[in-house]
Amino acid sequence: MAGGATTTNLDDLFFAAMFEARILDPLRPAMTSRNFLRWGPKGKSPAFSFSLMDDPGASVALTQGTDYTTVTDLTSTKATATAAEVGLMTTVSDVLIEVSLIDALPYVKRIILDSTLEKWETDLAALVDDFSNVTTAASTLTPNDHLKAVSALEQRDIPGPFVGYYHPKQSGELRQEIANTTAIVTAGQEGPAPMEPRAGGQGFWGSLFGVPIFQTSLVVSAGGNRGGAVFAAGQALGAYELWAPRVEIERRATLRGYYVISTACYGLVEVSDTRGQTVKSVA
């Protein structure tokens, strides 16, 4: 015998499905840091030029009693960051605000802001594989490859401190290599620790041989290789910002809702090519 009082016959008496008043955020690439950039102070211009003094070379030997008349020119170069706008917008309806299980407007504001932060990190990651000097791992990235990149900077007389900027696959290979070795020197490796607010989670991997390492999946892949880098903090890469990532809302009565927009206006530039070392390993 079938039928009677069943969920099929009385389907108006219950919810079709239950929902929790929580939602998993979208997966985002990790944000790294702004501290290792060389910042140009904001001014009444859409662009900022970072000046670099050229090396006039070493002094020469002089002859006693002989007038030295050679004039050496002192020259400089510059790298210019030009700020440009980026942004993303959506709308939030009054009806959604009334019926949503979560506080819809603040949540949407945060999601849209995270998109602008992701764009920032994407543009930064696009620079780190552009250094002309390159260390290429034979296959996976090893601590030895990392140290070769650091040594290459030191051999070019680049003053520290240095930072590493790697894809999680690269930093994961470093971790595995460290785990597989019994070398006592690896005791100098420090584990991940919280750094700055970020859109997609942990962007600071740790410190290896005194070099802090950041990781994000936005590191460029080209020609079958990931293109991370080791570079001099506050020297190699520059940033100029007219306004930082922000989110704003605008009430629209005709829409019966709100516009939600996040924008930023910034420029990033490679200030000194010689102060960075691209580090490539198999993707």
Segment 62-86, tens digit of pLDDT = 999 999 999 999 999 999 999 999 9
Confidence of residue 180 (pLDDT cuts 50, 70, 90): confident
Residue with tokens 């007389």: 157
- Quote the CA–CA distance of 121 and 111 in Å, as a whole number: 16
Under 8 Å between Cβ of 89 and 260? yes
* Alpha helices (H) along 76-184: 94-99, 104-128, 143-155, 168-180
Confidence of residue 23 (pLDDT cuts 50, 70, 90): confident
* Any domain includes 67: no
User: What is the per-residue pLDDT across 133-150, written as a single tens digit (0 to 9) for each?
Assistant: 999 999 999 999 999 999
In three-state secondary structure terms, 136 is: strand
Task: Name residue 92's amino acid.
Answer: V
User: What is the per-residue pLDDT across 94-122, written as a single tens digit (0 to 9) for each?
Assistant: 999 998 888 999 999 999 999 999 999 99
Q: What is the pTM of this model?
A: 0.85
Confidence of residue 183 (pLDDT cuts 50, 70, 90): low
H/E stretch holding 230 reads strand 225-232
Task: At 107, give phi and psi (nearest 5°).
Answer: -65, -45
2 pLDDT more than 80: no
* Any domain includes 23: no
Per-chain mean pLDDT for the chain: 89
Beta bridge partners of 87: 263
Task: Name residue 22's amino acid.
Answer: R
- Quote the CA–CA distance of 228 and 216 in Å, as a whole number: 10
Query: Can you say whether residue 206 is alpha, beta or left, with left for phi > 0 and alpha for psi between -120 and 50 degrees?
Result: left
Under 8 Å between Cβ of 177 and 142? yes
* Any domain includes 30: no
Sign of the torsion angle spanned by Cα atoms 158, 193, 215, 266: negative
199 pLDDT more than 60: no
Residue with tokens 């690269």: 170
DSSP 8-state code for residue 186: G
pLDDT, greater one: 246 or 11: 246
* Any domain includes 106: yes
194 pLDDT more than 80: no
Can you read off the two tokens belonging to residue 100?
């949503």
H/E stretch holding 260 reads strand 257-270
* Any domain includes 185: yes
* Any domain includes 29: no
Sheet with 237-252: strands ordered across: 38-40, 237-252, 257-270, 84-93
- Please name the residues in contact with 204: beta carbons below 8 A apart, sequence gap of 6 or more: 32, 33, 192, 193, 194, 195, 212, 213, 214, 215
* Any domain includes 80: yes
* Any domain includes 130: yes
For residue 186, give its domain range: 38-51+75-282
pLDDT given for residue 138 in this prediction:
93
Under 8 Å between Cβ of 226 and 178? no
Domain count, the chain: 1
Confidence of residue 45 (pLDDT cuts 50, 70, 90): very high
Under 8 Å between Cβ of 116 and 263? yes
8 pLDDT more than 90: no
